[in-house]
A and B are shown apart, each in its own frame.
Chain A
Amino acid sequence: MIARLLRRRAILAAALLTAVPAQAYYHYVYYSGRTGPFTPIRAQFNLAALPGNTLTFLVADSGPAIYFPNDSFASVLAEVRQAISVWNNVPNSALRLNFGGVESANQPQSTPGVDVIFTDLPPGILGLGSPNLPATPTIVNGPNGPFVAITRSTVILTNNTSLSPGPSYLESYFTTAVHEIGHALGLQHTWTGSAMSQDVIRNTSRARPIDADDIASLSVLYGASNWQSNFGSITGRVTLSGGAPVALASVVAISPNGPAVSALTNPDGSYTISGIPPGSYLVYAHPLPPDAILTNGSGLLPPEDLGGNSFPVSGPFTTQFYPNTQSVSNAGSVPVIAGQVTSGPSFTVAPRSSVSMYDVVTYSALDPSTRTYTYNGSISIPPGFINVNQPQGVMFVNMNAPGGTPTPQSVTMLGVGPAYFVQAFGQPTQVELAFQIPTAAPPGPRHLVFNLNGDVYVLPNGVNLVQKAPPYIDSVAANSDGTATVVAENIAADSRVFFDGVQATGAFNGNSITVTPPPASPGQVATVTIFNSDGQNSMFLQSTNPPTYAYSGSSPAFAAAASAQIQSVTPQAIPAGTSSMIDIFTSGANFAQGQVTVGFGTSDISVTGTWVVAPNHIQVNITAPPNARLGSTELSIVSGYQVITQPFSFQIQPSNSAAIAVATPAVNAITGGNLTPGSYASIFPAYGSQFPGNMAITLNGQPVAIQFNSPTQINFQIPTSTPIGAGTLKLSTSSTSVSIAVEIDSN
């Protein structure tokens, strides 16, 4: 205890965060010179070049060439959209992500965006993602410091969903998409088990698709102003005993029952871990595994100078906890305070000829008959799961070790304690572990510490604690009202039902969930999966014969025609530098409010609002910047399983100085928020233009009372008789007019 107190006292001056640049760099990093001080210059999208800070993702309209039976393009799109949504919802990020529909091959476009394409990937490759880095990097100065601009990015998914990671309804397809999109946004690999970790050590799921490390990484690139006020940072240095700096060491702040957030050291051994949630952390430095950076260029892209010359990477060393101990029980606690930098945790490490072990895979053995995790179950579930309500907490470990697989002297689960059973077995050697877990242990990922002979290996998020067995679907039955009842075991209110990759909304009823199946055509057969918030899903037990739901032609009121089509698009073109409402009429669709996504096949057109007027009628507001590439684009509508596309159905025309460019949406003149009957609305010109004089304004065909009129703002009153819902606001001069949709909410 005395030693612990002394260690705590030895730690750590806190300084205000604003003085220190964030240096977590599992990004694509440049330095302006070969000598220090080293301030990372990261590759990232330029928010100033994105409309509304929004990055548009477009999916190749070809889709995969080969599908697993019952798999579909709609399911693939649903997974991609959900993966986009994961990164879009990162708190504190100013970057917004948007699914822009499908695109034709070689679509010309000038606004930065991300293309999701499908190609033949060789066996063993799950997916790929890369930013388009400039061959000759130039520095752009932004509000968060200098950066190198990514102009566009590419995500490659398999062209054949009958191969891994498909079919698309499997969780691995979704987590692969999340990972590759992370690369597209400017993130490289990390070693904390997060979404951006190498596949072998990744522990993410549909329930927890990204982790604190991913959030920190994205926030460093795109954090909104003052984002760091909610997080703390840790700075320090890693050196060899002779004082030489260790470059590209990974330093990890790890909370025994919480997150792990990491950074890599600069060429001078300095590091800053930014974006750490407040709390108490252990901090350790470890060498990158030998497959992290390879001479053949297949691993992490090391930092470069602006001439394209890489910086050297230090060799292996002995992993250490702060303060310079290999014993986790002797590790000191480092406080992390919101808005502050904790400076001090530095490491003096000893070089080694090779790392002791790396690429550690944990897995559990699930018994299909008892549906419990046990020592001899026939179903392997990586990463490991332990049910705290079972008497034995058994799991297995598989690893790479250059010197032969070591048998750990002990293995500790942080926040729980040491394994009471550690046994090597088999050839190649694996390790069996057993833990006594308190039944009161809260669910969630836990970190493992392997104590080796003279070294230590830490596997963040190496195991998941759960409080019940995996969900198991007993039956899926259609109801006469168009809903379906999914009877299952080990479900709760947190359970979510997916039809292929599309989530079905529903209500939990004890041992069943009644859901509304996503709209689909008669004859569609969907694979049904239940996902629990603890990371388990029904595929753990039912992957060989998953339950399905067949859309019949008669009962579901939600079924749509087999071949829905676009009937009309009005107008069919807008000039660059303008906005407009577009009316889209279809046949055979069955649109429902909130379940429809409309795209125009180019990142140069942003959809700023969507309204379902009728089952076959949609209105959208769109806008195109003045520098939009001219030409045809592809219109697409996604609703449930329906993907309706029409190439060459829309045009961007040359800018027209006489055209009215109005920004969307119209806003409440008093609150800046929603419009209601009787409220005052403000509209503003778009793209730096000015409103023409003598402009007439009508709402739903009725003139409105203009309260204020200037070239840069017009205020008017929403008539008290205006119906709730989408209204059509029309702005006219003697020579031109434009309409936009406005949402009128109830008072």
Chain B
Amino acid sequence: MNEMANQSHAIVRAQVDSVYVAVAGGVVYTHYRLHITETYKGSAGAVNDIAVPGGTAGGIRQVFSGAPQLTAGAEYVLFLWTSRAGITQIIGFTQGVFSLADHSSNPSVSRTASAEMMLDRSGRPVKDRALSMRLSDLKSQIAAALAQPGVSK
């Protein structure tokens, strides 16, 4: 959580308003327009469009393993990273997506584990784990992670 919070440029609670696809450099990207309801890191409203590789456009379907598909109308907590080119993507793809069970003020949130190898700061393998908790607990963890020394706010 600390590493993910540190590397994120923004952490938001958002609902997917709409979905569209676009092709850039031969890659089909599925774009999600977000309605952000809470911002835990970064500037409020700074990010309202994120891109995930994969999708269908121009008669072509690209499927990149590990790239998640979000659902229009569904709500998420997203850990976001913006490239130098200005494209905002999800950190670690599935790793940075927490699904909210409903639209209540403190819903349960869950996230699957990443199947990518990860190392801790000492280079020791660490297993990313599937997570399930209340939104309030996730927010507390995010706040604690952002309060760590050396973590970008």
Contacts and interface: CB of A to CB of B under 8 A. Distances in A.
Interface of A: 28, 60, 65, 105-106, 115, 117, 119-126, 128-136, 151, 154, 156, 159, 183, 188-189, 198-200, 202, 289-291, 294, 296-301, 359, 361, 363, 378-380, 382, 398-400, 402, 428
Interface string B25-53: 11100000000000000000000000001
A745 B60 CA distance: 47
Contact of A130 (B62, B96, B112): B62
A296 B61 CA distance: 16
Interface string B100-124: 0000000000001111111100111
A709 B125 CA distance: 68
Contact of B70 (A105, A123, A296): A296
B69 A298 contact: yes
B66 interface: yes
B141 to A, nearest CB: 15
Determine the main DSSP class of A at the interface with B: loop
Contact of B94 (A60, A183, A296, A398): A296
Contact of B124 (A198, A294, A380): A380
B99 to A, nearest CB: 8
Given A296-B69, A298-B65, A154 B91 contact: no
Contact of B63 (A105, A301, A382): A301
A135 B61 contact: yes
A729 to B, nearest CB: 38
Q: Which 10 residue pairs across A and B have the least CB separation, nearest first?
A: A124-B92, A120-B83, A297-B69, A198-B115, A298-B68, A296-B68, A122-B89, A380-B124, A130-B62, A133-B61
Q: Which residue, of A128, A188, A200, A298, has the highest number of chain B Cβ atoms within 10 A?
A: A298
A363 B116 contact: no
Interface residues of B, number: 52
Interface of B: 7, 25-27, 53-54, 56, 59-71, 81, 83-85, 87, 89-97, 99, 112-119, 122-130
Tell me if B's interface is mostly helix, strand, loop or mixed.
loop
B60 A294 contact: no
Nearest to A402: B130
A428 B69 contact: no
A361 B125 contact: yes
Nearest to A294: B112
A126 B83 contact: no
A380 B121 CA distance: 11
A287 to B, nearest CB: 15
A122 B90 contact: yes
Contacts of B122: 378, 380
A106 B25 CA distance: 7
A121 B118 CA distance: 16
B43 to A, nearest CB: 19
B92 A156 contact: no
B133 to A, nearest CB: 15
A156 B62 CA distance: 12
B63 A130 contact: yes
Residue in B71, B119, B130 with the greatest tally of chain A CB atoms within 10 Å: B130
Contacts of A299: 65-66, 115
A123 B56 contact: no
A297 B94 CA distance: 10
